[in-house]
Structure 1
Amino acid sequence: MEDFRKEQILSVRRKKKRMRKIVLSALVVFFCSLIGFNLYINESFGITYYTVCSEKIGSDIRAVLLADLHCKEYGHKNEKLVEAIAEQKPDMILIAGDMVNYDNRDISVAVELCRDLVEIAPVYYCYGNHEAVLMHGLPESERLAVDEYIRQTGTTFFYNNFITATVNGNTIEIGGFQGTSHGEGFEEWIKNPLEEFEASDHFKLLISHFPGLYYEGIKADVNADLAVAAHYHGGLIRLPIFGGLYHPDDGFFPRYSGGEYRLEHATLIVSRGLGDHEWIPRINNQPELVVIDITGKEGMQE
């Protein structure tokens, strides 16, 4: 009887040991699969669609928004990205900055991409903090005229200014304004063009790299029909329900990490970006290309 009990105890122990091995193996497979899936989606991009309605629009406009590429390439010379943009048949292409890296003087990826994109539709580019460092944040002998190289492709490069454009018969104002200070006198420097932009009765589209412009920047109550931004890379790690987890500039749960937001005077759409330049990897946060349909049809937007 005693031998039988010992055998029962040993049998239970063996079963528990096997179960622990099975559970451990399952966890290893799960986490390896999760890491593999995350690596896979980070090497591709998804497409996110939004619709914005305005009574100022007669004929519909389709805009494609890209940002935060950080010199990343999807296929040879970004052929996959260019092809995906062309398939959307955009009327205009918006770039919300940080297509380059401040610590890399080779900006050929951004330049070649712009050269290809202008063959699809007019391209409007507002600089981000990485372009700003290359243009003005380095010793004078090390600076790089990013704006000049981009303009040579036929791209409209905004430097705290705006233009009036006609898109599908609609007269619209398109502006690119930075949201953070570049030192003493910066706010006065852009005050007049920004106020002139806001005073227009036409549809107003504002490109600003920093979402912070809309709650702590120089013009938190900016008056625009549509505003687009980027910078936060989707909050790097995205959690279900809560959204972006962290960005070094804004801490945990950045206010506008990615998606659509209704402001007092504008609809704000924030891109999660196409690349990365942070030590924290993107997790559950696939790079994205944004497509925005701007329509005058009522009932298209909640």
Structure 2
Amino acid sequence: MNRRSFLKKSLGSLFTLLGLSGGTFYYAKDVEPILLHVNKNTVESSKIPKAFDQFKIVQFSDTHIGFHYTLEQLKELVTKINGLQADLIVFTGDLVDEPQNFHWDNTIIDILKELQATKGKFWIYGNHDHGGYGTEVVYNVMEKAGFQLLQNNSVSIKLKDAAFNLAGIDDLMLGKPNINQTLAQVNTNLFTVLLAHEPDFADKAKNHPIDMQLSGHSHGGQIRFPFIGHLYSPAYAENYVQGKYTLNEGRFQLFVSSGIGTTRLPFRFLCKPEINMYTLKSKV
């Protein structure tokens, strides 16, 4: 750890201790984690066909159900997402916090099944999905809920006589990611969206024919302070933690969702949970 990182983490820990010991503790634990908001972005590109102008992609990520996030809250999330009238819904990983300890039944399937999108629902594995022997059980739940897995592969999203590519890579930490396999069937002339749980994969993805990457994993840091920023982010979410980043002189756009739930610590401070909506715009 370099001096700057050490000072940042030391000051952050001190502020956390002082701030969360008072009324802020209640806010960070019981208020902000339920202040779900919709983060809206417009994505403009000359590669987006006119047929997809105003096409809406809704992303949700990192629900971590079971760790201070309930199935009742998931129901509310589904209602809010359906209210956005998405054309396409994507889930970018970490459905439950501890798959090995979660009580799996049809309830979670029935809730996720209610999500509606005209052009389908897709998902990728996160590290918590593979962890705790969850790989197969999470797959079965998402499959029964009407989600299609993207695991080192891609699909073509078609509308009228136009299309764009939607690709998904396996989790970096506990999966077997293979970007060449992922893009093997991609038409490089089309606009390409990559789902990658860990945002730092963008440093590799930017060297491939990808226009936009959607990620989660970081939780936006969960706890943030003015002038300091986030106190901690997990591996593979250290370079890109929250919000929008542009690479390759603007040709590659990365969006990092702050996610829905929490993990490790049941707090959010200056880092509200979010649904992300991306409205495509054809650039003439």
Class of the TM-score when normalised by the shorter of the 2 chains = 0.7 to 0.9
Aligned mate of 1:40, from 31, 43, 46? 31
CA contact (8 A) 2:221 2:231 kept: yes
Partner of 1:4: none
Aligned positions, number? 257
CA contact (8 A) 1:177 1:208 kept: yes
How much has 1:168 moved relative to structure 2?
A: 7.0
Q: Secondary structure at the match of 1:52?
A: strand
Partner of 2:192: 204
User: What RMSD in Å do the two structures reach over aligned CA positions?
Assistant: 3.0
Q: Secondary structure at the match of 1:40?
A: helix
Q: Report the Cα distance in structure 2 between the residues aligned to 1:204 and 1:278, rounded to whole angstroms.
A: 34
Q: Please show how residues 14-33 of structure 1 align to structure 2 within 5 Å.
A: 32-33=22-23
2:225 maps to 1:236: no
Residues 81 and 177 (structure 1), Cα distance of their counterparts in 2 relative to 1, 3 Å cut: same
Q: Report the Cα distance in structure 2 between the residues aligned to 1:221 and 1:240, rounded to whole angstroms.
A: 34
CA contact (8 A) 2:244 2:255 kept: yes
Partner of 1:60: 54
CA contact (8 A) 2:152 2:179 kept: no
Q: Deviations over 1:77-99 (max 9, x none)?
A: 62321221122111111110001
Q: Secondary structure at the match of 1:117?
A: coil
Aligned mate of 1:263, from 213, 222, 247? 247
2:284 maps to 1:294: no
Partner of 1:281: 267
Q: Deviations over 1:112-149 (max 9, x none)?
A: 34211146762111111111225xxx4xxx86432133
How much has 1:196 moved relative to structure 2?
A: 2.2
Q: Report the Cα distance in structure 1 between the residues aligned to 2:20 and 2:181, rounded to whole angstroms.
A: 54
Q: Report the Cα distance in structure 2 between the residues aligned to 1:84 and 1:152, rounded to whole angstroms.
A: 21
Q: Deviations over 1:222-247 (max 9, x none)?
A: 43121100001111212335542212
Counterpart AA for 1:100: V
Note the residue ranges of structure 1 that are not aligned, 5 or more in a row: 1-27
Q: Secondary structure at the match of 2:267?
A: coil
Aligned mate of 1:69, from 57, 63, 67? 63
Partner of 1:3: none
Partner of 1:272: 258
Larger Rg: 1
Q: Secondary structure at the match of 2:244?
A: strand
How much has 1:49 moved relative to structure 2?
A: 0.9
Partner of 2:151: 159
Q: Secondary structure at the match of 2:58?
A: strand
Q: Deviations over 1:132-175 (max 9, x none)?
A: 225xxx4xxx8643213311222111121111121476401111
Aligned mate of 1:104, from 78, 95, 101? 101
How much has 1:210 moved relative to structure 2?
A: 0.7
Counterpart AA for 1:267: Q
Residues 50 and 168 (structure 1), Cα distance of their counterparts in 2 relative to 1, 3 Å cut: farther
RCO greater where, 1 or 2, for CA within 8 Å and sep 6 or more?
2
Q: Report the Cα distance in structure 2 between the residues aligned to 1:202 and 1:279, rounded to whole angstroms.
A: 41
Residues 44 and 207 (structure 1), Cα distance of their counterparts in 2 relative to 1, 3 Å cut: same
Q: Report the Cα distance in structure 2 between the residues aligned to 1:29 and 1:262, rounded to whole angstroms.
A: 34
Q: Report the Cα distance in structure 1 between the residues aligned to 2:168 and 2:255, rounded to whole angstroms.
A: 15
2:81 maps to 1:91: no
How much has 1:29 moved relative to structure 2?
A: 11
Q: Deviations over 1:40-68 (max 9, x none)?
A: 11123111111110112213211111000
Residues 255 and 147 (structure 1), Cα distance of their counterparts in 2 relative to 1, 3 Å cut: same
Q: Please show how residues 206-225 of structure 1 align to structure 2 within 5 Å.
A: 206-215=194-203, 219=205, 221-225=207-211
